[in-house]
Amino acid sequence: MSSSPGRSWSRKLNYSMEDLPEALLTEILNMITRTSDLNSLSLVSKQLYKIEGNQRGAIRVGSGLCTATKALTSLCAHFPNLQKVEIDYSGWIPGHGKQLDNKGISVFSSQCSSMIDLTLSFCSYIDDSGLGCLANCRKLVSPRLNSTPQITSIGLFSVAVGCTSLSALHLIGCDEIDNVEWLEYLGRDGSLEELVVKNCKGINHHDFIKFGSGWMKL
């Protein structure tokens, strides 16, 4: 006796996302572009959660981020292949919780070994000591600093010397950067292909002479 259509459908519905091959799940995830949709889909199954984490190449975090070392380490472990990290605290007030500090940026720099692009925006608790941790990021190509009030030329020089893959640098509203030793170094090194400096009170147009022969590659 043949089974009824209802029973046949019931058997088909017994399959879950866990039964799908990893290659198919990866293809499904590649078709989804919105971060919110990826986050929702990754909650469907443990397998999807793991695959989505491995696939994710970029994250943007800020207010609401748990800054405890254990939580940050867990976050980086879930996204082991991050290439682009954006930390943005625009509009932040103390009621939003703690900001990421030197200890937190140290976790990102040590755990995100594939990171090539890092943006720090309105990060008030990261200073030269924290920025110096980025010297461990040998693959870092493009650091972008936007309104980071505690970062000075000392931290920037550490990045210029330590990040040997550097080819782009963006500085916007970084008023404490004045000494241009970092600019001289990058000019001599000749690796920089893109340089953006806006609204940095301590840097004037005469300082760019120190970039020397570096202008030939920009």
Q: Are residues 29 and 129 in the same domain?
A: no
Q: How far is CA 181 from CA 97, 170, 213, in A?
A: 36, 16, 15
What would the pLDDT profile of 189-201 be if each residue is shown by its tens digit?
Answer: 888 999 999 999 9
Q: Are residues 137 and 210 in the same domain?
A: yes
Q: Are residues 39 and 68 in the same domain?
A: no
Last residue of a domain, one of 55, 80, 96: 55
Q: Are residues 33 and 70 in the same domain?
A: no
User: Which two three-digit tokens encode residue 56?
Assistant: 């994710």
109 residue type, one letter: S
**Angle value at C-alpha 78, between 73 and 82, nearest 5 degrees:** 90
Domain enclosing residue 32, as ranges: 1-55
Instruction: Give first-to-last CA distance, the chain, whole Å.
Output: 77
Rounded to two decimals, the pTM is 0.81
Q: Are residues 12 and 88 in the same domain?
A: no
Q: Are residues 49 and 66 in the same domain?
A: no
Q: Are residues 89 and 35 in the same domain?
A: no
| Radius of gyration, CA atoms only, the chain | 22
Q: Are residues 66 and 49 in the same domain?
A: no
Total domain count, the chain: 2
The Cβ-side half-sphere exposure at 125, using a 13 Å CA radius, reads: 18
Q: Are residues 134 and 208 in the same domain?
A: yes
Cα–Cα distance for residue pair 189/132, rounded to 1 Å: 19
pLDDT in tens, the chain (218 residues): 445 555 544 444 455 556 666 666 667 666 766 767 666 666 666 777 787 788 889 999 999 899 999 999 999 999 999 999 999 999 999 999 999 999 999 999 999 999 999 999 999 999 999 999 998 898 999 999 999 999 999 999 999 999 999 999 999 999 999 889 999 999 998 889 999 999 999 999 899 888 888 888 77
Q: What is the CATH number of the domain that holds 71?
A: 3.80.10.10
